[in-house]
Structures are given as structure tokens and as C-alpha cells.
Amino acid sequence: MLKRPNEKYPPFNPFPGGRSLSDRTWPERRIDQPPVWMSTDLRDGNQALFEPMDGERKMRMFKMLVDIGFKEIEVAFPAASQTDFDFVRTLIEGEHIPEDVTIEVLTQAREHLVRRTFESVRGARRAIIHFYNATAPNFRRIVFGQDRAGVRQIAVDTARLVRQLASEQPDTEFVFQYSPEVFTGTELDFAVEVCNAVIAEWAPTPERPCIINLPATVEMSTPNVYADQIEWVCRHLDRRDAVIVSVHPHNDRGTAVAAAELAVMAGADRVEGCLFGNGERTGNVDLVTLALNLYSQGVHPGLDFSRINEVARTVEHCTQLPIHPRHPYVGDLVFTAFSGSHQDAIKKGLAVQQAGAPWAVPYLPVDPADLGRSYESVIRVNSQSGKGGIAYLLETEYGLAMPRRMQVAFSAVVQAATDASGREMKGADLWAIFETTYLANDNGLAYGEHHLFEHGDQQGITLTVSRAGQAQVLRGVGNGPIDAALHALMPQARLLSYEEHNLGQGSDARAVAYIELASDAVPGGVFGAGIDGNIVTASIRAIVSAVNQLRRAAGEDTESSQMSA
């Protein structure tokens, strides 16, 4: 890289006299209604693919865009290829265009291409004819070899031709659109001069407006500068009430979404872009993100992304490009938390979120369910996770609602496993660790059977346990089955807590019991768990499990330890 990049990349200031817009008003504005959306997935998106879409893919994309709710769709650059031309014909002749949808077609400002473009839309009910020529100084010099007047004349001549050709196809309602290509790199006074010349040629009215589209063909500045450019143009355009000001941001600096939002605040009425930001180089502005940013602020975008995963898969099929897992709103990982404190907050937030109440779940800007995404994938567990995520997965996937202190103890066991493996843990992995830790009782005592009996006004128990296949029968007495079992197994242990709940429902329902025991050697306590179809048996299994944990925590050799009989 260069030591003095300014020599190669001098900053560009498009404002007349090099002054910026000091009396800008856009920072105070809020977006309280959606702009007119125009999808250029089938044109700008399509021209940026390794393999442009074939007819089948184009039709699939078109139908999906209609289903989402787009009312303006740029369907082709018909003069560019027979595929594009034929696709427009198929849409029209096959009557695939709904009444409330207007197709748009793009052409360079060259007569034979404009004529071919009009040919493509013959018979359409309504069509937007969009033409462009670059207006920026380097394009004037390098591409056209023309001065300002020459480049303006290209635009004026084409605008006139467009109006004339439209009058020859009276059955179609035409809307005219002009783009001074590379608007972002064009001196503002010249951009407005050319646009006003085109507007004069078209003589739009508020009833029959034209569209002036101001593309960030290449994104060249921070979004606030683009917003200043848009506000400046909006102030200087003739017949502003008869002009729909449109923006077409590209994402070269990674700020196309911000640029589009600020441009709308600055006066733009319409936004052109692609789903998930497909498009030339770093892409066109992402219309999904724009729409859902609005939605997350309580403004319905007028587009339906309630089945966003289906939209994503269709776009991937049509473009043959993958969507990044961290792409806003749609990426596989965006409703997922790995880190412990995030998981904890999300779990608590989901638990208290009430239907119909304002959304207030930490870390999730929108409810995944609104986009047809599920909560199951919200929380994932790896070495950065804490008890919250682990508990959430075990509860949602296996129905286990561990007591809070047990969650803490169990998360240390999981942490050791994730540290050792370096892998993400799925619900099934966590369940396997839970089973090994609390239910399998390997190397410890295993529950066999028990019988309860009356012992005066107390409860007696005969409890059969085994270790390494060798059964032992223990007896104990207490003020209930749990107390009696504890006396049978380890009378010196103290019961700190006991919780149980159902696992599942109906005839398959089982009970899970959680027992916390402490002893002089382990005053902090340890947990055990037991699962059984019978609630008392589940509790006694949990005591056996907790006794095993207590012995292990005390460093006792379970093989040689004495049991009371």
C-alpha cells in the first residue's frame, strides 16, 4: 500500500464550489413510511452472476418477487441478449404480470438499443423504460470522448426518442426513467443540469410523473455525503412534484444500506436494489435488510418476508451464490447465540416475552418467528457458552428444567467437554453428557429396586443397589421415602434441595427428580438426578445419583466406601 494514498486517491467533492451542504435538513427526519421498492434482481443482480439466470430461473425469481409484494420489477436489459428479450416476451405473452405489477427494462442511450427495448415490451399493460448514460467527468472523457454539452445531448436525444417511441405504442402505459450513471462521481450542478434537460423533454406532471434515479454506481463516500447529494438534487430539480426521485446504491464501501436509509431521509421516494445484496462487485443495496430495518422500527415495509428461509433458498438457486451465515436477518447464525451472557439474556427474555407485547428480548432485534424462523436454533453451545444456553437446549429439546445451582454445576462439566473437543455441542451431545454424569452412575452405585414399608409412624425402605454387578440390600428409615433412602445410603449426608417435574405428557410421561446433597466433606453440595415412570422411584434414583456425586466430590474411593445397612 502507498505511504501517501491521497496522491492516487484524491477525495472527490461533488458540491458546487467545493462547499458541502451546510443547511442540510435530513438528519432531523425519520422514516415513517416505506419508499417505493424496485427490485433489480433480474437485471443488475443478473448481470453480475457467473452464469446469468436462464429462463426457468428468471421466471422463478420473478414469481417470488411478485409474491413478496414488489410492484416494480426490472426484468431485463432486453437489448443485451436474446434470453433477456425472450424473457420479457414470455412475461407479456404468457400473461404472467399481475395487474398491480409494473415491469421495467433498461437500455443504454443508443438508438438501436432503445428501439429493441421498446420492441421487447410491445403489448405490456404498463412498463417503465429506463435509460442511462454516464455523466461523471472520467466517463465523459474516457468512455464517450465528449464534453459536458455532448454528454447532455446524448441524454436529451434519447429522452426525445423514448417519448416518441412510447407514443407509437399507445396501448401501453409508459413510465420514463433516467439515470445519470455514476451520479456519485458527477459534479452535482452538472447532474442536475442533465436531469433537468431530460425532465424538460418528458414534461412530466404530478399525475404522470417520471423517475429520476440517482445511482451510487460506485459507492464513493460516507453515507452522509450521499444524503447531502440527494438533498441537494431534490432542491434543484425542476418539477419536483412531477418527479419520483429514486436511489440505486451499490455497496463498494460496505455502507449501501446506510446510504439508502439516509437518502430516503434526504428526500428519495424510491429505492432500487436486490434481495440479500446481490449485484455488481460488492452488490446492490440489500432490499431485505432495508425492509426489515424498517419493520424492526415498527414501520411495515409493504414487503412480506414471513418465510425468509424460502426466499433465501430460492435466491441461492437462482443466483447460484451462497448467502453468508451472518447476513442480517437471514443468515443461519443471526438468531443464534454462542456466548454465555447472550444466551442467558435471550433465555430470560424469551421466558418473559408475552404475546402481543412490545418485543423486548435482548440481543434479538426482531422476533425470529415473524420471519418464519424457529426458536430451536436460537441458542447454540460451544466453549464460549454458559449455563443459560445449556439449560435452554436441554429444556427445549429434552424437557429438563434443572434447578439453577444444578445448571451452574452441569455447565462446568460441559465446559470441560467443549474445551477438550473444541466443538459446538448440540442438544443431543448435552443430553449424552447429562446421562453420563447423572444417570449412568458408572463406577458408582446403580439403583436396582426398592420396597417401602411402614415403620411405626415413619417410612422404612429396603433398597437394592449394585456396583460392578454385585447387588447389595440396604435398609433405612426416615420421615418419608427420600429421607429413608438417604438414611439407607448415606446417613451422614444432608438433603439441601429437592425438585421434580414431569417429562413429557400422557401415558409416556415420566418424572425427573433433582436432589442436592451436602456433607461435612462437601459442604457446598452436589446434585444428582433420576428419571423414572414413577415419581418415588425417580427420587430414589436421584438420591443414588447424588450420593455417587458426593463421594466423587469428597474424593472417596467408591469401591471401598462403607454403606450403612
Q: Do residues 130 and 114 make contact, with C-beta atoms less than 8 angstroms apart?
A: no
Is 181 a binding residue for ligand KIV by CB under 6 A? The answer is: yes
Give residues 13-52 in contact with ligand KIV (rule: CB under 6 A): 44
Please report whether residue 338 would count as binding ligand ACO according to CB under 6 A. no
CB 33 within 8 A of CB 299: yes
Neighbours of 157 (CB within 10 A): 15
Q: Which is nearer to ligand ACO, 133 or 441 (CB)?
A: 133
The answer to whether residue 215 forms part of the interface with ligand KIV (CB under 6 A) is yes
Q: Say whether 44 counts as a known binding-site residue.
A: yes
Place of cell 404498463: 126
What is the tally of helices (H) and strands (E) in the chain?
17, 14
CB of 212 to ligand KIV, least distance (A): 11
Indicate the residue among 44 and 261 with the shorter CB distance to ligand ACO.
44
CA gap 83, 481 in Å, rounded: 80
- Sequence length of the chain is 565
Q: Does 133 bind ligand ACO (CB under 6 A)?
A: yes
Please report where in the chains the cell 469401591 appears, as a residue: 559
At 457, is the secondary structure helix, strand, or coil?
coil
Find out whether 108 and 132 touch, Cβ atoms under 8 Å. yes
At 17, is the secondary structure helix, strand, or coil?
helix
With CB under 5 to 8 Å by kind, the binding choice for 179 among ligand ACO, ligand KIV, none is ligand KIV
Site string for ligand ACO, 16-45 (x = CB under 6 A): ----------------------------x-
Q: Which residue type sits at 387?
A: K
3-class SS at 496?
strand
CB of 77 to ligand ACO, least distance (A): 4
> How near is the Cβ of 134 to ligand KIV at its closest, in Å?
8
| 450 labelled ligand-binding | no
- Regarding 213 and contact with ligand KIV (CB under 6 A), the answer is yes
**Shortest spacing between CB 108 and ligand KIV, in angstroms:** 9
Contacts of 435 (CB under 8 A, 6+ apart): none
- Contact positions with ligand ACO (CB under 6 A) in 229-258: none
Residues 96/83, Cβ–Cβ less than 8 Å: no
Report the residue from 60, 86, 96, 144 that binds ligand ACO according to the rule CB under 6 A.
144
C-alpha angle with apex 155: 153 to 158, nearest 5 degrees? Answer: 105
Question: Any contact of residue 178 with ligand ACO (CB under 6 A)?
Answer: no
Order of strands across the sheet that contains 526-532 = 494-503, 510-518, 526-532
Of 182 and 361, nearer to ligand ACO (C-beta) is 182
Nearer to ligand KIV, 213 or 229 (CB): 213
Strands 126-134 and 173-181: parallel
> Angle formed by the axes of helices 111-120 and 148-167, to 10°?
30
The footprint of ligand KIV on residues 97-116 (CB under 6 A) is 106
Least Cβ distance, residue 225 to ligand ACO (angstroms): 20
- Check residue 139 for interaction with ligand KIV (CB under 6 A): no
Cβ count within 10 A of residue 298: 9
The piece of 111-119, 210-218, 456-464, 491-499 that touches ligand KIV (CB under 6 A) is 210-218
CB of 182 to ligand KIV, least distance (A): 6
Given the rule CB under 6 A, which residues bind ligand KIV?
44, 106, 132, 179, 181, 213, 215, 217, 248, 250
Given the rule CB under 6 A, which residues bind ligand ACO?
44, 47, 77, 79-80, 108-110, 113, 132-133, 143-144, 181, 217, 280
